[in-house]
Structure 1
C-alpha cells in the first residue's frame, strides 16, 4: 500500500505542474513575424528613410539609366589631331628579298635627287627630283634653282661612296632605291634642305614642310 500511495502522490504533482502552462500561453519559437515581414520582399515599396522627414517613394524607373534610342544617334567625323607629333609615319615599302645593300663609289649627281655611279643610275626613293632646267621665283627674283640643287647634291657627295639597297642587276636601267651616306639618310637630307620634294607616298612629308617653312633650298631666295 505504501508503493501505491507514492504513485498517487507523484501523479498529482505532475498534474499540478502541467496546469501552470495553458495552451494559449505557451511561448512560440521562433517569434511570429508581423504582416509586413511576412510579405515577400518583392512586394515591398522602396522608401527613403531619412530621420525627421516623411518617407517618400523612390522612382524605380530612375534608378537605372533610361534606354537609348539608337535611331536618334548621329555619327560625326572625328576632330582633326591637335598636331603631327603623335601621328604614325607611313610604313616603308619592304624591299624584295633579292635586293642587297651595295656600295657605289664616286657618285655624280645628274639632277637634284638622281646620281650615277659604277654604271648604275639611281633615283633616291621617296623624293621628287628637281629638273636641272627648272627656275624658281622668290619675290621679284627668278633664279635657276634646278642647277643650284644639282650642284648642292654634288657638293654634299664629294665623291664619297653611297650605300644603297639595289636589285642584283640595274646596269641598263635606273631604279629608285633608298641610300645612305654614312649614317645620313640621303633622301631626308635632300628634302630637309629643300633640294628635292617629298613623294606623296614617301616618308619625307614633314621634312618638306619644315624646308618650306624655313624657306630653304628651292623654296627660298636665290643661292
Structure 2
C-alpha cells in the first residue's frame, strides 16, 4: 500500500514539472523559406554629408534650424512677369509730379509777357514778349511799343489773380507757365491783341495772323 502511494506521488511530480516547462518555453513561428535564386542587393552606406543634421535647441524657448552648406545652395533666376500690367513704372520726375495749378494774387506786369506775383517771376508760355525798351514803327512813325505793351497788360490784369500751372518753391528764377484770368487764356489775349508774338512751336499762330491783319498792338499805329 505504501509503495503505491509513493508511486502515485512521483507521477504527480513528473506531470507538474512538465507543465512548468511548457509555460516558460517560447513559441517559435515557422520561418519563411529563403529563395536562393534571388541575388542579394548590397545596401549603400549613409555618408555624413547625406545624413540630415537635426535641429538644435539653443535656448529654452528657441530652436535653431540646422546649418546649411552655402555650396549646396543654388540661386534660381527670377521668373518673368505674368503680364505687362505687373511691371513697375518709372517714377515721375519731381518737377512733373509737383507742378500744380495755383492762384497768384496781385500780379504786376514787368513786360508784355512777364509778371511778378507772390515772389514768383512768370513768363507766359508759348509767346514772345516785347522788351520794355523796344520801339515799333508804323507808316514811318516810331513809337515806344514796349512800354505801351506793358501798360496794356497791366491795365487788363488790374491786379486780379491769375491761375497758373507752376512748380512749388521757385522764387529765384523766372519760369514759363500757362496762365488764365478767369476763363481767358493769357497767352491768347496777348497775341490776339498784338502785345506779343507767337512762338514757332506755340499754339497762337492764328491769333498773331489776326492781329497783324487788324494792325493791332505792335503791328499798328502809336497808341
TM-score where L is the length of structure 2: 0.57
How many residue pairs match? The answer is 129
1:211 is matched with: 211
1:196 correspondence with 2:189: no
1:70 is matched with: none
SS in 2 for 1:212: helix
Deviates more, 1:143-152 or 1:165-174: 165-174
Matching of residues 67-146 of structure 1 within 5 Å: 96-146=96-146
Distance in 2, Cα, partners of 1:213 & 1:96: 38
1:152 is matched with: 152
RMSD (Å) for aligned C-alpha atoms:
1.0
Residue deviations 1:134-184 (CA, integer Å, cap 9, x gap): 000000210000000000000000000000000112111110000000000
SS in 2 for 1:137: strand
Q: Where in structure 2 are there 5+ consecutive unaligned residues?
A: 1-94
2:181 is matched with: 181
1:97 shift after superposition: 3.1
Distance in 2, Cα, partners of 1:193 & 1:174: 24
SS in 1 for 2:160: coil
2:53 is matched with: none
Q: Where in structure 1 are there 5+ consecutive unaligned residues?
A: 1-94
TM-score where L is the length of structure 1: 0.57
Matching of residues 49-60 of structure 1 within 5 Å: none
